[in-house]
Amino acid sequence: MQKLGLSQSLQQKLSPQQIQFIKLLQVPTAELETRIEEELEINPALEEGEGEESERTEDNQEEQDYQESSGSEEEVDIKDYLRDDDYSGYKMQGDGDDEDDRDMPLPMSTSLHEQLMDQLDFLGLDDKLYTIGKQLVGSIEGDGYIRRDLEAIVNDLAFSQGVEATVDEVEAVLKKIQTFDPPGIAARNLQECLLLQLERMDNGHDIDVAVAKKIITECYDEFTKKHYQKIQKKLETEDEEFVRDAVDLIVKLNPKPGGSSAPSMVKNQYIIPDFILTNNNGKLELALNSRNAPELRISRSYTEMFKAYDKSDKKDKKLKEAVSFVKQKLDAAKWFIDAIKQRQQTLLRTMRAIVDFQYDFFLEGDETKLKPMILKDIAGMIGMDISTVSRVASSKAVQTDFGIYPLKYFFSEGISTDSGEEVSSREVKQIIKDIIEAEDKNKPLSDDKLEKILNDKGYNIARRTVAKYREQLNIPVARLRKEL
């Protein structure tokens, strides 16, 4: 038996403008220019203004005349789209006129792949071996390693290049490539990478190089675990100096030979701060980076199209369709300008709240002055949702008198002290770092000992938290910090 029922539900949906604002809010300054250029390309109703006062005044007068002549038109409410005072142009807060700031220097560099191919050309290989060499060079990753099995490279050559090769032939060419610069290139693992560099240094007379090669070849597992006494036993020596000098030589080798010359694998990137914070005689002044947005306005040509419509036959179907299209584009342009404005206002409100909260830090740049701060603290100060603050903090940075900091840097959990105060976890991390830097490297401190020292200093912290903070600082465990 079928039944007909009536139900009521409440749903919350985001408007197109809200969605656009959310997307723009999380875009960093470096990508915002590209986003605006894309919008200018797809929306002819939006254009980049020149910022000249006379031109804006002329536009104001034309649009005002048009609004007066078309105010009685009901089919298209033009006045909603042509308020020149609001949308013909805008300049963001903190904007400057220095054109030099808008030009980003681009470094000239030769890619790792190009360097290796230049060296491959000098080998004078026949066509088959040269093809194998190209395949191998193309298989080298950004850090300089070849991690693909030689059997897989043989299959690649057969299927993609039509070249029948054996693993021995591929390995023979690989050995030649491993003699290229930078030293250690095209290694298949770290052990081989270190050995290639040592072989390049070996002149037959340096005892440290000879011992280092022996350690990497015969005692590699012990070396990675810093079991130096076991290394001495294997090498049948009781002289610590004998092992220490060789180990010192090894740790100075480059574990990522492609890293110093691998801008090819990754695009060069620059940190462009979204905010500029300056200390003017003890007064902190905040401004948005001038690269945040160009001046945008509604296109004058679209204003002319509305004028033409007002004077034409209102029953013309094609003209109505054209005006409907224009109206849609004007909506999009108006919404985009609104979203850019709202983005700027939200960024400034959020950053001002962060500056107020961490005022002591921004005055001096002393990490110990950082207070525990979470997203909820800032959201409460500016009356916005936590997700909004999260979007602002996730990909933005601020330039201060003592460096550029990502906004995420200022958010940290709190640790209780014996006095009942809350201190930032960043302060605790700095203390852990200072303790480890000052420790006796022959007897590095374990996490248990670090916990005891911190507790003695008045910080109520557990050993597992010490371990977590140490790992976040990229500091290895005590055994791996041991030195001879």
Q: What percent of the chain has pLDDT over 70?
A: 76
Residue 200: pLDDT over 50: yes
Section 293-300 average pLDDT:
75
Section 145-162 average pLDDT:
88
Section 198-202 average pLDDT:
88
How high is the pLDDT of residue 67?
43
Asked which of 17-31, 207-221, 411-425 is least confident by mean pLDDT, the reply is: 411-425
How high is the pLDDT of residue 108?
45
Asked which of 147-151, 258-262, 450-454 is least confident by mean pLDDT, the reply is: 258-262
pLDDT in tens, 217-234: 888 888 888 888 888 888
Stated pTM of the model: 0.52
How high is the pLDDT of residue 414?
67
Residue 42: pLDDT over 70: yes
Question: Distance between CA atoms of 423 and 445, rounded to whole angstroms?
Answer: 23
Residue 440: pLDDT over 60: yes
How high is the pLDDT of residue 313?
62
How high is the pLDDT of residue 307?
64
How high is the pLDDT of residue 352?
94
How high is the pLDDT of residue 50?
52
Higher pLDDT, 111 or 98: 111
Residue 101: pLDDT over 60: no
User: Which pLDDT band holds residue 51 (cuts at 50, 70, 90)?
Assistant: very low
How high is the pLDDT of residue 225?
82
Section 428-453 average pLDDT:
88
Backbone angles phi, psi at 69, to 5 degrees: -75, -20
User: Which pLDDT band holds residue 46 (cuts at 50, 70, 90)?
Assistant: confident
Question: Distance between CA atoms of 322 and 268, rounded to whole angstroms?
Answer: 44
Which of 183-192, 308-317, 370-379 tops mean pLDDT?
183-192
8 Å CB contact between 153 and 140: no
Asked which of 46-60, 352-366, 394-408 is least confident by mean pLDDT, the reply is: 46-60
How high is the pLDDT of residue 73?
42
Question: Distance between CA atoms of 10 and 231, rounded to whole angstroms?
Answer: 71
Section 82-110 average pLDDT:
45
How high is the pLDDT of residue 169?
92
Higher pLDDT, 118 or 55: 118
Residue 52: pLDDT over 50: no
Residue 353: pLDDT over 90: yes
pLDDT in tens, 154-179: 998 888 888 888 999 999 999 999 99
Tell me the average pLDDT of the chain: 78
Section 407-431 average pLDDT:
74
Higher pLDDT, 91 or 346: 346
